[in-house]
Amino acid sequence: MNKVIKLANRPTGKPVSSDFKIEEIKKPSPSDGEMLLKPKFVSVDPYLRGRMRDVESYVDPFKLNKAISSPIVAEVISSENTSFEKGDYVTAELEWKKYQLSNGNGLRKINPDLAPLSAHLGVLGLTGIAAFIGLTEIGVPKEEETLVVSGAAGAVGSVVGQIGKIKGCHVVGIAGSDEKVELLKSKFGFDAAINYKTTENMSNAISQAAESGVDVYFDNVAGDISDGVYQNMNNFGRIINCGAIALYNATSVPTGPRLEPMMVQKRLSMQGFIVSDYQEKFPEAVKQLAKWLKKGELEYAETIVEGFDNIPNAFLGLFEGDNKGKMIVKI
């Protein structure tokens, strides 16, 4: 039996269960040049929210009543394609289906001995690669500088902070629970961490945790949290806009303090960043991340939800802060 998860409605504000529907479909058979894939691990990510809107963007919007797709690790069940064999593991953006065909386009073979399969969706996947490239190419942190990371317990943030430590920075994380704050300090080696939910004055909290001011701000959330960080930026500080989860569900244009006077006065730079623009740097990033992982310099956290039917719930959980590290569904 095969199943598919489709987009039933375009969400207004925060997505809800009824925006998705699960249907039974036929299990397909590969023709010449094709193979049958069985997803084993499915990545759910905040950026998928953007694709649920019917607006032109850097990736096409999902179509109503069609399968949703996201990064997936799958097993090759049978193959009529000479480049792939039964038993191979591959990763790509695939559909939320229990079984699906592929002609091999866009598929990347993964080495299951390098790390657990799910790591290829996180620390060695797009989120780890985004952390590495965003921080090293745009943030360019120098030794003894201070790095602040928002969404720090997330899949990208937790890797950003650790790379910051490897690079010799003072690293401050912002997250949404005391448990996550503890995890950042104990597991990921952050120097300080702030629970934004119990912090009244974010600017004060940042200035205490980052006594020398903030040189690099890796931002996954935007909104009020970022306002507090901006106020503590040092001259020539760099801001990496990797995500804006605090604003993704907004139903009108969110407003906040205008940044331009501060940009000029402190000569800040701010740059929006999407990892898929840097495909040519992926192999180098994965190589470096795998090296750190092997040497034990890089920890990672996963929140694993079980069962195909729970993919939508796992996605909805991202907006409740349910995940520590990468949110993954095991099928």
Instruction: Pick between residue 109 and residue 266 the one whose CB is nearest to a copy of itself.
Output: 266
Closest approach of Cβ 222 to a copy of itself, in Å?
4
Instruction: Pick between residue 185 and residue 266 the one whose CB is nearest to a copy of itself.
Output: 266
> Which tokens is 193 given?
């961490």
How many residues does the structure list for the chain?
Answer: 331
Closest approach of Cβ 265 to a copy of itself, in Å?
6
Instruction: Pick between residue 57 and residue 65 the one whose CB is nearest to a copy of itself.
Output: 57
Instruction: Pick between residue 130 and residue 175 the one whose CB is nearest to a copy of itself.
Output: 130
CA nearest 162: which of 128, 139, 194, 137? Answer: 128
Instruction: Pick between residue 106 and residue 257 the one whose CB is nearest to a copy of itself.
Output: 257
What is the spatial distance between Cα 276 and Cα 165, in angstroms, rounded to a whole number? 25
Closest approach of Cβ 105 to a copy of itself, in Å?
24
Closest approach of Cβ 133 to a copy of itself, in Å?
13
CA nearest 289: which of 122, 138, 123? Answer: 123
Q: Which residues have C-beta within 8 Å of that of residue 276, sequence separation ≥ 6?
A: 58, 59, 126
Closest approach of Cβ 53 to a copy of itself, in Å?
11
Closest approach of Cβ 302 to a copy of itself, in Å?
24
Side chain identity at residue 37, one-letter code: L
Instruction: Pick between residue 76 and residue 222 the one whose CB is nearest to a copy of itself.
Output: 222
Beta strand 146-150 pairing with 214-219: parallel
Instruction: Pick between residue 200 and residue 260 the one whose CB is nearest to a copy of itself.
Output: 260
Site residues, a copy of itself (CB under 8 A): 50, 57-58, 219, 222-223, 226, 235, 241-244, 247-248, 253-274, 277
Instruction: Pick between residue 112 and residue 223 the one whose CB is nearest to a copy of itself.
Output: 223
H helices within 106-175, ranges in order?
Answer: 126-133, 155-166
DSSP tag of 26: P
DSSP tag of 139: I
What is the spatial distance between Cα 261 and Cα 61, in angstroms, rounded to a whole number? 35
CA nearest 72: which of 26, 136, 114, 125? Answer: 125
What is the spatial distance between Cα 281 and Cα 304, in angstroms, rounded to a whole number? 28
Closest approach of Cβ 162 to a copy of itself, in Å?
22
Q: What is the DSSP string of 47-113?
A: THHHHTSSS--SSPPPPTTSB-EEEEEEEEEEE--TT--TT-EEEEEEESBSSEEE-STT-EE--TT
Closest approach of Cβ 163 to a copy of itself, in Å?
20
Closest approach of Cβ 47 to a copy of itself, in Å?
9
Instruction: Pick between residue 50 and residue 116 the one whose CB is nearest to a copy of itself.
Output: 50
What is the spatial distance between Cα 215 and Cα 219, in angstroms, rounded to a whole number? 13
What is the spatial distance between Cα 237 and Cα 234, in angstroms, rounded to a whole number? 5
